[in-house]
Structure 1
């Protein structure tokens, strides 16, 4: 099992709506909606197996206030509780709890690993707390940590033999407004801007090369194409 990552920023909040992640007319999103593109080398040849990660520009009212990293919830009585973490496509990432708990206040820490011990990619996640009777809490968490040592483990996607990649729109939380509570107990809101850093890593023999590009996505975007040329 891989070691838990040290998150650069995890924001906890009640569930929030992500602007632009669905179709307003109720239709199913296109299969190519999202951040798509091709990675080539300096000769124009496709680069297969390149790891791609995303870093987000997050605007907070108080940059010195440290967000709480704990999942906290209250139970009025003893009951069976399930606590799961879902990604932006409502896919199960981690089951943190499934069992009986006493009444009172409870705190759970997610170490940003999935159910098989792999580090979760950057993005917005939702922890859902349910009893046998009802859902009692939804807590949003933004993972926004990326470094060269963990990029291959935490990549959002890896290019195929054509150098092609696609990250679904639902997994790119630009435009999200996330209410959160800092460690001092004060409520704030964070905003994920439209500026995204695209980080690409490729292995050449025993070396790993890294390349970064900054991309600004238009408001309400659904489909964005990128052409990334590695030096």
Structure 2
């Protein structure tokens, strides 16, 4: 079975729906094909390409290639991301960010396909992301209840009903390069209960900047590792309304 046929669902999860007036991203400039929790057909998304030696956001190709190069992980080798498939505005960078939240707080902005890690002093690290499709979006306050490196993936019952072909994974799909959750996953909780919402790593660069998942938010593997390594359990996560 192709991983593009694997999806997760957040059906039945009620988000808090709170607005956070004190949290507003200020960008510097405007400018499962594999592990992306896709449901249905894959998007027809053409390669954007990078013109010349500098991206339109000022990052050199050499810098981008280094940022998204191969990773010598302990369990499985992680290949370089094909950055020609990603709009340069979604590359990881430090941006101005007005927020009253404590440093380390994660803010998910599904409308603009960004995830922010508040760094303090008016700055944040910004990552490009893929997000949930209409009908699968969730918003509210949560926290990182647990973390997983190459975690096991278990499809929810609702998904097995929709896609019987994943029933063989009802007991769990071992972690690895073909697992939908990828190399790193942050699981979001509310009041001790898992929301079914995760931040996970995808090696499908063409999905960044799109609404393709069944509710969760995917970052390029290199970006997710960066965020994962700097995010302890109990970190606050704010998912803004789309």
TM-score (norm 1): 0.25
Which has the larger strand fraction? 1
Structure ranking higher on relative contact order (CA contacts 8 Å, 6+ apart): 1
Which has the larger helix fraction? 2
Report the structure number with the largest CA radius of gyration.
1
